[in-house]
Structure 1
Amino acid sequence: MVEIDKIYNLAAEKNLIGSILLKNDSICEIIDMLKPEDFYSSKHKIIFAKLKEMYEDRIPIDVVTLCDKLGKRLKEVGGITYITELINASVTAVNIKRHGEIIKEKSNYREILKIFNTSLDKLKEGKEAPDDIVYYAQNSLLNLNTLKAKEGENMLEIMGDFMDTLQKRYEKGGELQGIKSGYKHLDKMLGGLQKQDLIILAARPSMGKTTMAVNMVLNAVFKGDANVAFFNLEMGKTQIIDRTIAAYTEIPLDNIKNAELSDKQWVNLSEAAAKLSMANIKLYDKIFQLEKIKSECRRIKIEHGLDIAVIDHLQLIGSGEKTENRTQEISKITRKLKLMAKELDINLILLSQLSRAPECRSDHRPMLSDLRESGSIEQDADTVIFLYRDEYYFKDSDSKGIIECIVAKNRNGEVGTARLKWKPEIQRIW
């Protein structure tokens, strides 16, 4: 049985409301912290909702104006007698912010109980898969302000932080601010893989998106000491590991797939497997819904730390929402992913398919208008990188073994093209 004082504190609720009645401006300290639903007493829910509404409408708050605004609901909250009691019960020098924190803590405690009780009911009913129930509980718990938003800062604090950052940049001698992607020209344009950025890595099928993502992950982990989560919605884990081992060892992918390995290759592969098993990479191939991806990223961030998340690819993500069309759904997904990158302070690399438009042009290099089901993809992305291989279209091309990384949009830097070496048989790009 849960102790009563764990789930509510009526004294804190009364004191807080009484304080607002005595000193209207004190509501500023808790107005963004509390919602009417955070109060345990149904009377206090109604009263606080009305106080918040009056303050936002710039209506002076006292017993008379509050009673007038409550109208027919005045009787429901105990009449003018109870409103007067709240003022009399309030301590003159109450710390309203601390009282608000107490109310919020109790509200969260009740919400946690509700989540576990609901999960238990779902288990008893047996209508949902155990994994779905786990995700429901996990996501609900993580949404209880686990990652607390930073409060606003004044310019003095902001400029102080900026000068500290500038000093660190100077001491590093112009070193990259973001995580190394492993490609100097690309890193110079991007400043590395920056936290809070959404990078769209797009190309036509078979152009090398997944290979590029795998190589960037390996570089970020082993050269940039990054923690990475890789969500592959198209391939299984074995296929991704095949490519990862090939890129890491430079053993031909076909040899790995068929286990046709020399003694030396067996040794190299075993050593690579040992190193990769200790790498800060989490690989997923069975999570397809946006909310589950977000939930898992939050969990990793809290429990282990997370620097980069890679999702392969956008068009396979399910939103779980009903929308008028797929373009609208894609727009909502990219917007939510951008907000997730900002909230979790991570770099998010999102792979995407392109429309068939490049096939119809004499110059097959992609353009921003080619983003498939684009909607707000371009708008939400901080960076858009297209991959292009000339030899894919022209067998006698002078650019054989070259993959172009075309930075078509870069919110925080220059655009341009980084030409990299491409060796598909070993899944390497360098």
Structure 2
Amino acid sequence: MNEISRVEGRQAEDGAAALPHNIEAEQQLLGAILTDNDVYDRVANLISARHFYDPVHARIWETAEARITKNALASPVTLKPFLEADEGLKELGGPAYLLRLASAAIASFAARDYAQMIRDLAIRRSLMGIGRDISARAAEVTAESEPQSQIVEAEQALYKLAESGGAVRGFRSFLSAVKDAVQVANAAYMRDGGLAGLSTGLVDMDKKLGGLHRSDLLILAGRPSMGKTSLATNIAFNVAKAYRRGTLPDGSPGAVDGGVVGFFSLEMSAEQLAARILSEAAEVPSEQIRRGDMTGVEFRRFVEAAKQLEACPLYIDDTPALPIGQLAARARRLKREHGLDVLIVDYLQLVRPGSAKDSRVNEVSEITQGLKAIAKELDVPVVALSQLSRQVESREDKRPQLSDLRESGSIEQDADVVMFVFREEYYAEREKPSDDKLDEMAKWQERMERLHGRAEVIIGKQRHGPIGSVDLSFEGRFTRFGNLVKPWQQSDGNFV
């Protein structure tokens, strides 16, 4: 009986003959490495011991790998002392089997193709294993095994397998990295003005941020009633409204303008969020929409806006108290089924950690690290809203600072950009003097006129650019932030 039939005969006895494999490819690749150790460097980023079907081949790979990585020679002779006591190798003829592997070696130029074949077959076997596990767990009807949690676990297992299906990137040459940087700069240059990332639809904010960058975690923080959710919905609407699909520079299909938006609304219902977006688009106050108190003109405008929004790729998930693991799984599913260009989470403190921690700081740290991992894994910007601590209210200057972030250490550390929404008008309204103090009333009215309809986004941290503030307009009736018209733009009428 030859070596191949011995191997396959042993696997058949174990009841595993139906699993996809290619013993000859494994033998010839191992032979190539044992005759030329440089072949290992060409295939090490593609396969590892776990990808080999035959356990003896996996142990031969591990032994050879251990020597090669120590700059020691791996050959049939040098591997013999480490493997001659291996029971599986004895079945195949002992150390003489190593010599026969070397004699069956393929040419070094074909090694990568053989390694890819071995990897692909291993992934197929893993898929079959996941399928069996799903079937077995679904058959167990117990109080602990909820179907929904099983679906999430199955999705996570499949996505993990899909991610492991690509080769490990490892080190890249500086030339390769420079090419990518030049492509980003060229794309920004071609966009007339310089956006390296996705446009928010707010001109001054785009100039300060350079758009929303892929794989970035952006924190949008503020005290209650400052307009965090309104600004997030405005950005989501602007991105989805501008969506245009086409061919990307690398030849793949995707969003050439705007993008697909995923919105996790852990505080408000999907209906409430939709009402806010419709209020902005139709220019009808949101409270009138809720009450149905609209004139004929307003209702027609409302219906027209609803029709236009039907085609917008904006997807809302309003499941409360989502664990960070399920949030990641749902984001992956959205990207797989519909695409995903920006993800918004409202808000960070309502996301649950994967497991209970000994302190709230550690829980928030797990959540922020999870959100950053999602941004990098899915290669999209993640905008997470965050509450601020009450210490803002005790200061005379109510402008928020990085130290005002709740559990600020982890949030500030993990975020690429930290922004604060601030409306001084909100605080000024609450400082109205009594009617009999005429001088104070006059000053207050002058201050209110100056602050009316204005908002400020303070950029407290930015890895890619400068910090500072951006002035925006704010229409409370429509919960809408917009570009603020400057005095010189008002005079010449050139503002767009």
TM-score by length of 1: 0.91
Letter in 1 for 2:228: K
1:328–1:375: 8 Å Cα contact kept in structure 2?
no
Secondary structure in 2 matching 1:417:
strand
Give the alignment of 1:171-182 within 5 angstroms: 171-182=190-201
8 Å CA contact retained: 1:354, 1:370 = yes
Measure how far apart 1:234 and its partner are. 1.6
* 5+ residue gaps, structure 2: 1-14, 243-256, 432-443, 483-496
> Shift of the alpha carbon at 1:281?
0.7
| Cα distance, 1:31 vs structure 2 | 1.4
Give, in angstroms, the shift of residue 50 of structure 1.
2.5
Q: Return the alpha-carbon distance in structure 2 between the equivalents of residues 149 and 264 of structure 1.
A: 58
Number of equivalences: 428
| Cα distance, 1:44–1:186 mapped onto 2, change above 3 Å | same
Say if 1:330 and 1:374, in contact at 8 Å, map to a contact too: no
Q: Does 1:142 align with 2:142?
A: no
SS of aligned partner of 2:100: helix
For residues 148 and 402 of structure 1, the distance between their equivalents in structure 2, rounded to whole angstroms, comes to: 49
Matching residue of 2:12: none
- Mapped to 1, the partners of 2:335 and 2:270 lie a distance apart of 22
Deviates most, 408-417 or 258-267: 258-267
Distance, in Å, in 2 between the alignment partners of 1:359 and 1:153 is 49
Q: CA deviation at 1:184?
A: 1.7
CA distance in 1, matches of 2:74, 2:359: 47
Q: Residue 361 of structure 1 aligns with which residue?
A: 395
Q: Distance in 1 between matches of 2:299 and 2:16?
A: 61
CA distance in structure 1 between the aligned counterparts of 2:307 and 2:346, rounded to whole angstroms:
25
Query: Which residue in the other structure is 2:6 paired with?
Result: none
- Indicate how the Cα distance of structure 1 residues 425 and 170 shifts in structure 2: closer, same or farther if over 3 A, else same: closer
* Letter in structure 1 aligned against 2:135: L
Show the 5 A alignment for 1:374-389.
374-389=408-423
Q: In the alignment, what sits opposite 1:334?
A: 368
Give the Cα separation in 2 of the matches to 1:5 and 1:20.
28
Give, in whole Å, the separation in 1 of the partners of 2:69 and 2:351: 39
Q: In 2 relative to 1, CA 324–35 (structure 1 residues): closer, same or farther, beyond 3 Å?
A: farther
CA shift for structure 1 position 168: 4.7
Determine if the alignment matches structure 1 residue 34 to structure 2 residue 47.
yes
Q: Does 1:77 align with 2:89?
A: yes
* Cα shift readout 1:181-227 (whole Å, capped 9, x = no counterpart): 12222111001122222111011223211111001111122245321
Task: Name the SS for the 2:393 alignment partner.
Answer: helix
Unaligned runs of 5+ in 1: none
CA shift digits 1:254-302 (9 cap, x unpaired): 1111222222222122112111121011111127122222223333333
What's 2:23 paired with?
A: 10
Q: Which amino acid aligns with 2:383?
A: I
Q: 2:228 aligns with which of 204, 209, 213?
A: 209
- 8 Å contact kept, 2:45–2:168: no
- Measure how far apart 1:67 and its partner are: 3.2
Q: Quote the offset at 1:39 in angstroms.
A: 1.4
Aligned-residue offset at 1:43: 1.3
CA shift for structure 1 position 368: 1.0
Larger deviation, residues 145-154 vs 379-388:
145-154
Moved more, 251-260 or 103-112: 251-260
Matching of residue 155 in structure 1 with residue 207 in structure 2:
no
1:410 maps onto 2:462 in alignment: yes
Q: What is the deviation of 1:172?
A: 4.1
What is the match of residue 66 of structure 2?
53
State whether residues 84 and 95 of structure 2, in contact with CA within 8 Å, keep that contact through their aligned partners in structure 1: no
CA gap 1:148/1:40 in 2 versus in 1, 3 angstroms = closer
Q: Shift of the alpha carbon at 1:145?
A: 3.4
1:285 and 2:318 correspond: yes
Instruction: Report the residue type matching 1:180 in the other structure.
Output: S
Aligned AA for 1:315? Answer: Q
> Aligned partners of 2:188 and 2:274: how far apart in 1?
37
Equivalent of 2:298, from 265, 277, 291?
Answer: 265
1:241 aligns to what? 274
- Which of 226-235 and 295-304 deviates more? 295-304
Query: Residues 250 and 428 of structure 1 are in contact (CA less than 8 Å); yes or no, is this contact kept in structure 2?
Result: no
Q: Which residue does 1:20 correspond to in 2? A: 33
Report the Cα distance in structure 2 between the residues aligned to 1:138 and 1:413, rounded to whole angstroms.
37
Bigger radius of gyration: 2
* Matched residue type, 1:38: H
Query: Could you tell me the TM-score, scaled by structure 2's length?
Result: 0.79
Q: Any idea what SS the aligned residue of 1:143 has?
A: helix
The answer to whether the 8 A contact 1:330-1:375 is kept is no
For residues 118-163 of structure 1, what are the alpha-carbon distances to aligned partners after superposition, in whole Å with 9 as ceiling and x for unaligned?
1112221134333322222222222223584684543334444544
How far residue 92 of structure 1 moved from its aligned partner, in angstroms, is 4.6
Contact 1:204 1:354 in 2 (8 A): yes
Write the distance in 2 (CA, Å) between the matches of 1:9 and 1:325: 51
